[in-house]
Amino acid sequence: MNKKLLFMIFAFISVLNWMPLSSQNCKIYNDVFQGGEELNYDLYFKYGILYTKAGNSKLSVTNTTYGGKNAYKMILRAQSSGAVDKLFSLNDTLTSYMSKDLVPLSFSKNAYEGKDYTVETIKYTYTTKGVSLNTKRVKNGTERFDVEFTSTNCIYDFLSIVFYARTLDYTTMKKGSETSVEFMSGKRKVKMVIEHRGIEKMKANDGKKYNCIKLLLSISDDAFENKEEAMTVYITNDNNRMPVRIDSKLKVGSTRAILKNYKGNKHTIE
């Protein structure tokens, strides 16, 4: 190989290493889930010290297109029922689009909670200079915020962060290990810390016990002296990394989703 060609190759590699984020840098190899996966959960609400059956939730993944390219559409639905519905009705739909290599593309939340109706959206744009996004919230017909952010890092939303967490290489992690990424919390760009909390047996509502990795997802930024817990997720310690239980914080109380059935998994579940 002549010296001029060799120099050009090294120069090109150097430029690639120097260049800021593009969608290419956010790509993740996914061998954990596939289009057609559907997970159904019983939903519980906690106000005080006890959890009460509150409704149902479903997490699904479908194959679709976005911007003319193949993509995943992730939907998380949660709906209250029974006595809890009369006290505090909940009907939320969260939707994320991600590329086939798990680059976040858009996010939306349509939430009926009590007497409030909230619509929240995030739109991502990638360039060689990084990622820019617009996040907007409208509550009860009134715009609460409409802001722009830029970053040279990947930024995840409330739903895409769950799928990102499923793809981490837990074979190289142990209890106490942490991974952090940028995350959109309302109109704040913060750090989301994913902490490995060890292995636990978790009983699902299908009567089975699953060997699970316990993950604590916390928000951390300059406004917090300590981490603010966002959710706790128990994922199967197998090739599916399937969420068996998801605990989430609300402004009033908290919710717990416990798996009751599933289908369309990429790998066989033992």
Query: Residue 270: inside a domain, yes or no?
Result: no
Contacts of residue 169, defined as CB under 8 A and 6 or more positions apart, other chains included, come to none
Tell me the three-class secondary structure of the chain, residue by residue.
Answer: CCHHHHHHHHHHHHHHHHCCCCHHHHCCCCCCCCCCCEEEEEEEEECCCCEEEEEEEEEEEEEEEECCEEEEEEEEEEEECHHHHHHCCEEEEEEEEEECCCCEEEEEEEEEECCEEEEEEEEEEEECCEEEEEEEEEECCEEEEEEEEEECCCEECCCHHHHHHHCCCHHHCCCCCEEEEEEEECCEEEEEEEEEEEEEEEECCCCCEEEEEEEEEEEECCCCCCCEEEEEEEEECCCCCCEEEEEEECCCCEEEEEEEEEECCCCCCC
Confirm whether 242 is domain-assigned: yes
Looking at residue 24, its pLDDT comes to: 65
Cβ-contact 82, 55 below 8 angstroms: yes
* pLDDT of 226: 59
Domain coverage including residue 13: 3-263
HSE-CB for 199 with a 13 A CA cutoff: 11
Q: pLDDT value at position 230?
A: 84
Q: Identify the segments of the chain with pLDDT beneath 50.
A: 3-21, 223-225
Amino acid type, 104 = P
pLDDT of residue 228: 78
Q: Decide the pairing of beta strands 178-185 and 155-156.
A: parallel
Domain count, the chain: 1
Give the pLDDT score at 252: 66
Identify whether 154 is part of a domain. yes
Q: Is residue 269 part of a domain?
A: no
pLDDT at 248: 86
Judge whether 240 lies within some domain. Answer: yes
Q: What is the pLDDT of residue 224?
A: 47
What's the pLDDT at 42? 97
Whether residue 165 is contained in a domain is answered as: yes
